[in-house]
Structure 1
Amino acid sequence: MRTIRCAIYTRKSSDEGLEQDFNSLDAQREACAAYVLSQASEGWKLNPGFYDDGGLSGGTLERPALQKLLGDVREGRIDIIVVYKVDRLTRSLLDFAKLVEALDAADTSFVSVTQSFNTTTSMGRLTLNMLLSFAQFEREVTAERIRDKIAASKAKGMWMGGTPPLGYRPDGRSLAIVEDHAALIRDIFDRYRRLGNVRLVADSLLADGITTPCRVNGKGRSYGGCAFTRGQLYTILRNPIYAGRIPHKDKVWPGNHPAIIGQAMWDAVQAQLSDNVKGHRTTREANASLLAGLLVEPDGNPLIPVHTTREHRRYRYYVSKAHQHGTADPDTSALRLPAREIEQVVKQELTSLLADPIDLVARCGIAITPAMFERLTIGCEQLGVDLRRGSNAKLKALLHRIVVHRDRLDLVLSPSGLIELLKIEEPESVPGEVICKTRVRLTRSGRAIRLVHDNGCTITGDPYPTLLGLLVKGRRWWVELARGELDVAGLARRENVNPSYLTRVARLALLSPSVIEAILAGKTRTDLDGNRSLALVGRTSNWAEQQRLLIA
């Protein structure tokens, strides 16, 4: 007789009573184990593994024990899943459909020991769906009742649980002030009124050695003892609980707890926060171009940001100011750089410099001590992250200017700015500026000027869309010609193209694998367009020669 391997799955929605020696999970497992034992004559055998989810809702499949169980099912270790009731497995019809699909794929079934039905018949499946519909309905009604109760209680000013904000402790259905922490909250509000900037408040607290108080949450875990972040300070300054109110979604109700912050102070801080947010938004919009004010030509003529809109898409460039304003020598060619490419170059080069802090400070003439090494390493790593995210202020503090030559870019670094950003001790004398030359040059592709590496690859590494389209079309046409059902003339008529053009495109199917990989990776020569590619491919079928002609 074939052995049928059985696994028992148990679940309880709340963690109430789970600390007892014999709890609901044990009762479910005992009933299921007895059922498996009663089927021993059929070859049923219980697996020794435990799959228990305590304190987890049946409205989701993201449960550790259930995921472990499904993993064992996929690996073919289980033939039947035994549950006390179907709703222990899931309370969602949609999730149940996913489970059935996964079980069918692994040739696994499930059994409910308290509900008898046969899912091989249409009536059995209807019965099962009805049971699950009622289970889902029960869960949703319970959730609605809980939400309504919380909303009604908060409208009466009650505290409905959770982690109390700093400065308070739970006091039944209200909050009581913790005076030591409340003094810190008042100090934070006073500092913001005086300094007017959350970042400055965070810096001043750090300078004074003030950290978040150590507290213990409801589960007995301690937290705190670290520096205040700007996000934490924003949350404190925006929290209406400190003004004696209880928030719920988009409404705020008068609370039953005492206020830490007076109404006048609260209103003044909220107005100040709103004004500052508006100011930041204006600044961000004005500084959309990351390198504005930094790019110059070798003769000192600045490059200014401009943009154009085509088919609802915005394209940004940096162009010579003299040509843009019509004051340049008409015999000289205008410099027009794609903004995305040059901004990416600058961020890549600066990040590369920051990846080797010792070499960078040596270039800037800064002598470091062993005690400075840790701060220098951490500071350079964080600064690299900020630059990749597009921090305009830090970029301009680190760079004096960027000189755009035809054969390279010169990044003119500010050693004093680097010292200030890294917060390291400033030596007696440092050079005013340091020039770092990049291996990037300008080239003309059609009517546009592009930035490329010394090896000829584009900066962005994006594949050329036209060349990709030709490659796909050429492979498709080559396959159809190879079948022999159509000749070149017949296929050209069907595709409404010239036979000569079809032949040249179909030859792209003869490209070497390395050339195809280069096309997909955007490593072909920058001066290649669709027509030039077809002309070069038509010269030779030798793979080495193709690589020389097409790859940067």
Structure 2
Amino acid sequence: MDQSSADSRGLDVTPLRCTVYARTSGHEAVDQSYTSIDAQLDTGLAYIASQAGIGWQPTGTTYSDANVSGSVLERPGLQGLMATIKAGQVDVVVVHKLDRISRSVTDFSQMMAFFDQHGVALVSVTQHLNSGDSLGRLAINTLMSFAEFERDVAGERTRDKIIATRRKGLWIGSVPPLGYVLQGQRLAIKEDEARLVRRIFERFVSLHSVGLLAQELTEQGVTTKTWVTRTGKVRGGKPIDKVYIYKLLNNRMLIGEIQYEGSWHPGAHEPIINHAVWEQAQGLLSEHRRPRKARLVAENDFLLRGLVFGEDGRAYSPWTSSPRGNRVYKYYVPQKDIALGGGASGLPRLQAFTLEQMVADHVYAQLKNPADILARLPEWMTSHPEYDAEQFTAVLTTHADLWPTLFPAAQSQIVLRVVGKVTVHSDAITVRLIVEGFVELIREYLRGEVKPNTVRDMMNRADAGKPRKPRR
């Protein structure tokens, strides 16, 4: 029965709300007046209009993702479509081809399960497939298996091409390293950048210090390599820091080599650094390189990791000295000093033990002064029927009394719960406390979930476990 006869007889049809999804891959152009996205959307809307006789109705909203790979599901347009489906506003999703949804069988299976869960059908215009019937589902799964196979084969071809190109000593990649410019697939020396590279190597050999070199280059206004993207945006041009210098000093491309299959081989480009200067630089780097010894300090030994900041807003990083005998020294160091050299931030580096002890003492002082903590409680909390100031004060006082006998681990747990941020100034530190942390501590104590673990507790348990001598 055709659509006209169905309409003439007045048969009831169930209206189906339909929308269109379109996608293009990263290599497809989108800067034209009529793009592939437009073509896919128009085709889908035309198909929906052709099915009006069986109740198909466009929702008025379409979804699309431009320059996004089909191997990922984290796409704005697709996520918007899924949100609409969850809201129960769509019955049919129309696509130009199935691979517009996904090129991965696993991801496509997840999407089909999502569609089934919400009672939504997937329709492919050019492949004449509808997930609403069993035969259509079988054909869809078969086609998706071939689509994933095609994607895997294309990936293997791309990897083989990269390896074959680099075996010939040619460049394949994005931006060439500092000192070179791309001419076809060959790297050519860019003289102004090459002079900077040679100067960096020569100054490092002379100064024997990456930190001093970074400070010198920063004072001279020297920046990293700049380039322009395909969209016309300027990238790079940032101050040179120690990390950038280390990478440059270890880049064997500067002596005419190129890397592939995990090792370095002779390249087709001219070297910028001669081997004598290179060997000098590598010898100095080897002298300054820390020996790889077993770590004597655990990662969690830095109690305030991620909580310490300078007054300039930049974070402090945990730093461990090289082993000296059986000892290591721990510090909190401004990140700016790490990047640009000691003293660049104008803030002090702090011994970890000293800083952590100062913060712990501050928490202890707050526990001994419960009134100060209770005064900072929000009004909604103090007006709660279960709030009891005397009871809260008693619990905090109990913790203060037990503090000197607590194990260091127990003290650390309390510190982590109530300390929100430590700010380092040039001549002082400030500690921001989390009042809610004290409240949770009180609640757990009152519920009997957590009791302070003290040295006295351990001794009592030890005494209780000792076998007693029989009485004569």
Q: Is 2:331 aligned against 1:395?
A: yes
Structure 1 residues 519 and 121 mapped into 2: Cα distance closer, same or farther (>3 Å)? farther
Structure 1 residue 165 corresponds to structure 2 residue 177? yes
Partner of 1:386: 316
Q: 2: distance between equivalents of 1:530 and 1:4?
A: 70
Corresponding residue of 1:191:
203
Q: Once the 2 structures are TM-superposed, how far is the Cα of residue 35 of structure 1 from its aligned partner?
A: 0.8
Q: Give the AA of the match of 1:112.
A: S
Residue in structure 1 matching 2:116, options 93, 104, 110: 104
- In structure 1, C-alpha distance between the alignment counterparts of 2:226 and 2:408, rounded to whole Å: 58
| 1:286-435 paired onto structure 2 within 5 Å | 288=297, 340=301, 344=303, 347=304, 351=308, 377-378=311-312, 381-382=313-314, 385-386=315-316, 389-390=318-319, 395=331, 422-423=345-346
Match of 2:97 among 78, 81, 85: 85
Q: For the Cα contact (< 8 Å) 2:410–2:453, is it kept in 1?
A: no
Using the TM superposition, give the Cα deviation of residue 81 of structure 1 relative to its aligned residue in structure 2, in angstroms.
0.9
Instruction: Report the CA distance shift for 1:178/1:48 in structure 2 as closer, same or farther (over 3 A).
Output: farther
Change in 2 beyond 3 A, CA 1:520/1:219: farther
Query: Helix, strand or coil for the counterpart of 2:33?
Result: coil
2:316/2:332 contact within 8 Å kept: no
Distance 2:45 2:101 in 1: 16
Match of 1:19 among 9, 31, 40: 31
Instruction: Name the residue aligned to 1:369.
Output: none
Q: CA deviation at 1:174?
A: 0.7
Q: Which residue of 1 aligns with 2:233?
A: 221
- The equivalent position to 1:178 in structure 2, one of 190, 194, 214, is 190
Who is 2:144 aligned against?
Answer: 132
CA RMSD of aligned residues (A): 3.9
Preserved contact between residue 70 and residue 104 of structure 2 (Cα < 8 Å): yes
Pairing partner for 1:248 from 234, 239, 260 = 260
2:380 matched to which residue of 1?
A: none
- Verify the 8 A CA contact 1:458 1:526 in the aligned structure 2: no
Distance 1:231 1:75, change over 3 A: farther
Identity of aligned residues (%): 33
Q: Pick closer, same or farther for the CA change 1:236–1:436 going to 2, 3 Å.
A: closer
8 Å CA contact 1:452–1:526 kept in 2: the answer is no
Higher relative contact order (CA 8 A, sep 6+): 2
The aligned residue for residue 113 of structure 1 is 125
1:276, distance to aligned residue in structure 2 (A):
2.8
Q: 1:50 to 1:532 in 2, by over 3 A?
A: farther
Match of 1:444 in 2: 405
Contact residue 9 and residue 82 of structure 1 kept, 8 A: yes
Secondary structure in structure 2 of the residue aligned to 1:149: helix
Checking the alignment, whether the CA contact within 8 Å between 2:48 and 2:58 is kept in structure 1 is: yes
Q: Distance in 1 between matches of 2:232 and 2:333?
A: 45
SS of aligned partner of 1:261: coil
> Are the structure 2 counterparts of residues 187 and 521 from structure 1 closer, same or farther at C-alpha, using a change threshold of 3 Å?
farther
CA 1:192–1:219: 2 relative to 1, 3 Å: farther
Q: Cα offset for 1:198?
A: 2.6
Amino acid in structure 1 at the alignment position of 2:79: Q
DSSP 3-state at the match of 1:142: helix
Q: Contact 1:176–1:258 at 8 Å: present in 2 too?
A: yes
Aligned residues of 2:121 and 2:130 also touching (Cα < 8 A): no
CA distance in 1, matches of 2:448, 2:210: 44
Q: What amino acid maps onto 1:172 in structure 2?
A: G
Alignment partner, residue 72 of structure 1: 84
1:175 is displaced (CA, Å) by: 1.6
For the structure 1 residues 242 and 49, does the alpha-carbon distance in structure 2 shift closer, same or farther, using more than 3 Å as the test?
farther
Q: Using a 3 Å threshold, how does the CA distance of structure 1 residues 197 and 79 change in structure 2: closer, same or farther?
A: farther
Unaligned runs of 5+ in 1: 291-338, 356-376, 399-418, 426-434, 463-512, 534-552
* Inter-partner Cα distance in structure 1 for 2:77 and 2:170: 36
Tell me what 2:242 maps to.
Answer: 230
Question: Residue 276 of structure 2: SS of its match in structure 1?
Answer: helix
Residue-by-residue CA offset, 1:73-104 (whole Å, 9 max, x unaligned): 22223221101111111111100111112222
Structure 1 distance, partners of 2:229, 2:122, is 40
> Does structure 1 conserve the Cα–Cα contact (< 8 Å) formed by 2:123 and 2:130?
no
Which residue matches 2:153? 141
Distance 1:517 1:22 in 2: 64
- Note the C-alpha offset of 1:194: 2.4
Distance in 2 (CA, whole Å) between partners of 1:117 and 1:422 is: 64
Equivalent of residue 224 in structure 2, options 184, 204, 212: 212
The one of 246, 269, 272 aligned to 1:260: 272
State the alpha-carbon separation in 1 of the partners of residues 36 and 106 from structure 2.
26
Give the gaps of 5 or more residues in structure 2.
1-12, 322-328, 335-341, 349-356, 365-399, 419-439, 462-472
Offset from partner CA, 1:165-216 (integer Å, 9 cap, x none): 1222210111222211111111111222223333332122123332235432
**Deviates further, 215-224 or 163-172:** 215-224
2:66: which partner in 1? 54
User: Which whole-Å CA distance do the structure 1 matches of 2:459 and 2:126 have between them?
Assistant: 73
The TM-score normalised by the length of structure 1 is 0.58
Provide, for residues 39-79 of structure 1, a one-character-per-residue CA deviation record: whole Å limited to 9, x for no partner: 11222222333422232221221222222222222222322
Per the alignment, do residues 449 and 33 of structure 1 end up closer, same or farther by CA in structure 2, a change over 3 Å counting?
closer
Q: Is the 8 A contact 2:124 2:130 kept in 1?
A: no
1:186 to 1:518, Cα distance in 2 relative to 1, 3 A: farther
1:517 equivalent in alignment to 2:447: no
